[in-house]
Amino acid sequence: MSKIFFLKIIYRSAVSLHKITSIVESFNGARIKHLNFISKGRVFVGVIAFEASQLIDFERILNLIKRNRDISEVEQITEASLC
């Protein structure tokens, strides 16, 4: 059974959003469900929601995103905090 995970991401405007989405989609069984990013000056702030089949896949995706030095902040959020 798949579960939907939400990440809040802040990254520099020089980084391609494609780079972040390709990290998520590089895992078998992981699919992006929702993207919502806006520009705030020199950075982009937003939420990415993706479906992963296992918790271990989520942790691997999170670690790969955090390794990117151009990304300032990555944190898991709950669906309730989106409102």
Q: 57 versus 33: which is more confidently predicted?
A: 33
Tell whether the model's pLDDT for residue 54 goes beyond 90.
Answer: no
Tell whether the model's pLDDT for residue 26 goes beyond 80.
Answer: yes
pLDDT mean over 3-22: 88
Fold of 3-82: Alpha-Beta Plaits (3.30.70)
Three-state secondary structure string covering the chain: CCEEEEEEEEEECCCCHHHHHHHHHCCCCCEEEEEEEEEECCEEEEEEEEEECCHHHHHHHHHHHHHCCCEEEEEEECHHHHC
Tell me the average pLDDT of the chain.
86
- The residues near 56 (Cβ < 8 Å, ≥ 6 apart) are none
Tell whether the model's pLDDT for residue 5 goes beyond 70.
Answer: yes
pLDDT band at 83 (very low <50, low <70, confident <90, very high): very low
The residue ranges of every structural domain in the chain are 3-82
